Amino acid sequence: MPITDILERNASLYGDEVALVELNPEYHPKKMLWKEYSLIEPTSDKPYRTEMTWKEFDAKANRFANTLTAMGYGKGNKIAILLMNCLEWLPIYFGVLKTGAMAVPMNFRYSSDEIEYCLNLSEADALVFGPEFIGRVEEVVEKIGINRNLMFVGDGVCPTFAESYGKLTENKSSEFKGQPLTDDDYAAIYFSSGTTGFPKAILHKHRSLTFSCEVEQNHHGQNRDDIFLCIPPLYHTGAKMHWFGSFLAGSKAVLLKGTKPEYILSAVSEEKCTIVWLLVPWAQDILASLDSGELKLSDYDLSRWRLMHIGAQPVPQSLIKRWMEYFPNHQYDTNYGLSESIGPGCLHLGVENIHKVGAIGKAGYGWESKICDEKGEIVKPGEVGELCVRGPGVMECYYRDAKSTSDVLKDGWLFSGDMAREDEDGFVFLVDRKKDVIITGGENLYPVQIEDFLSACPKIKDVAVIGLADSRLGEIAAAVIEIKKGMTCTEDEINEFCQKLPRYKRPRKIIFANVPRNPTGKIEKPKLRAMYGAASLVDAQNKS
């Protein structure tokens, strides 16, 4: 069934129950009376906590669906969403889906050029954006505003180049009568990237989204009493598809705006959360705060927290060992997935397999997996090959990119680009990545983009960006820089030059050295990793 049917079912069965809660820790009351589990009212006029019932959720989605229909949008159209996490995010997403149009979630870190590129790549007909993006949108509005509706979501003044989402939807009906949808209707386009670092548009049908709900609930057993704490951005499949299990169960979710350890533990305590999905850096920050005594478990009511699961990057075994010392009653799971496989869960460890921490697990519910050599033949246990997955959640294609699609989709199998091995018990371990993508704190960095930027520095002759092990972020970007003959350059100068880059793209380590290239002119990155990676790994292990 189309995923929109689940929302309508929840509104019918659980209409007056809370579906979503938004917490804004910046406006949290300064004093908390933990023993009584009550709060002193905040003095700020901005709300610390807001909530939405299932009936309100569905009504908001319907009003936006009616708005889009009045604009002439429906099947075949694409509506891009560029918002920070907020209560409006999911109703907007489902409002798009209800019309039969495709939702196009966008990374909130995109620069103005990337926003323009992804809108054009996906052929988006409209853009819904929040106040944080006014400047970036305005920079390219003359290009993206041609034959494209721009809708502003926020309490502030609507920019002159956009229409107000609030005014557009306020008088629309809270009921929606649209065309019937099926599992075979297109539902969403998510963005990933190829080996060049340029985003690819990943096309999914409703079938994939609904299947993702089933996978997540099967793996983690969400029921009506569970409360899911959602911290990662909702444009990310890892966040939304983990929430899908709670969505299918009709249980409450809490959107937390902020990742500080005290924010996370306070949210779990106040909202009585039972399931929390973390990235490695957040888990490490919590442990560091507990180790230092900055936070004390006795200050929080964490009695209902039953599951901590983690993913988006390799998970150090030492981290989970330390986590279980503080939280011995927690179930633990790790999840592997791709946007091309509709997010997490095509492989997962399983809460019963904590003795295999370090593995990404086995094929998940409804999934198949295999590890192949370059000829596509299955390798023997223990040998390294490319991880491939097959199941109902595999993408339809890379939109408008037949060549890239044929490179990764073969006989229904998705070739992940990740190198892995399988142990004697059938558990899969990631070894390396075919692509040069660097995963830092759960986000992808694309070396080519950073290299291209640094190449514009007048003192740089050549540059290569590689990933080095980091105990907190999993990896960091390191720039190996070859300076032009006769010139001198300092690390401070490079860091100053990189101020024009988004913070998460700035190299965290600068190495002044020659950049080796092979006879065909390609940078020999394996050689660089061998030269600098060992020391980085030892340092990361010492810190973990």
245 phi/psi in degrees, rounded to 5: -65, -45
- Range list for CATH 3.40.50.980 in the chain: 1-11+52-170+186-204
Task: Scan for tokens 């190198």, then name that residue.
Answer: 419
Give the amino acid at 410: K
Mean per-residue pLDDT for 467-494?
92
How far, in whole angstroms, is CA 417 from its chain's centroid? Answer: 18
Decide: helix, strand or coil at residue 206: helix
pLDDT value for 441: 84
CB 276 within 8 A of CB 308: yes
Q: What global pTM score does this model have?
A: 0.82
pLDDT value for 38: 43
pLDDT value for 313: 64
Residue 518 CB burial class (10 angstroms; 0-12, 13-18, ≥19): exposed
Percent over 70 (pLDDT), the chain = 91
pLDDT value for 122: 97
pLDDT tier at 221 (50, 70, 90 boundaries)? very high
- 74 Cβ contact list (under 8 Å, min separation 6): 68, 99, 100, 101, 178, 179
- Token digits of residue 210: 């609904």
User: Can you list the positions of beta strands (E) in 373-459?
Assistant: 385-390, 397-398, 409-410, 413-422, 428-433, 438-440, 443-445
CB 251 within 8 A of CB 227: yes
Give the amino acid at 113: D
Mean per-residue pLDDT for 511-528?
77
Higher pLDDT, 517 or 51: 51
pLDDT, tens digit, for every residue of 265-289?
999 999 999 999 998 778 888 998 9
pLDDT value for 195: 38
CB 136 within 8 A of CB 115: yes
Evaluate if residue 29 carries a pLDDT over 80.
no
Residue 272 CB burial class (10 angstroms; 0-12, 13-18, ≥19): middle
pLDDT value for 194: 43
pLDDT, tens digit, for every residue of 440-456?
888 778 787 788 789 88
Classify 1-11+52-170+186-204 by CATH class. alpha beta
Mean pLDDT of the chain: 89
Angle at 307 between CA 301 and CA 310, to 5 degrees: 120
DSSP 97: H
CB 69 within 8 A of CB 98: no
pLDDT, tens digit, for every residue of 50-96?
999 999 999 999 999 999 999 999 999 999 999 999 999 999 999 99
Higher pLDDT, 116 or 178: 116
Mean per-residue pLDDT for 500-510?
92
What length is written for the chain?
544
Mean per-residue pLDDT for 231-258?
94
Evaluate if residue 32 carries a pLDDT over 50.
no
Evaluate if residue 392 carries a pLDDT over 80.
yes
Q: Worst-scoring range by mean pLDDT, 203-217, 347-361, 508-522?
A: 508-522
- Range list for CATH 3.30.300.30 in the chain: 438-543
**Topology annotation, domain 438-543:** GMP Synthetase; Chain A, domain 3 (3.30.300)
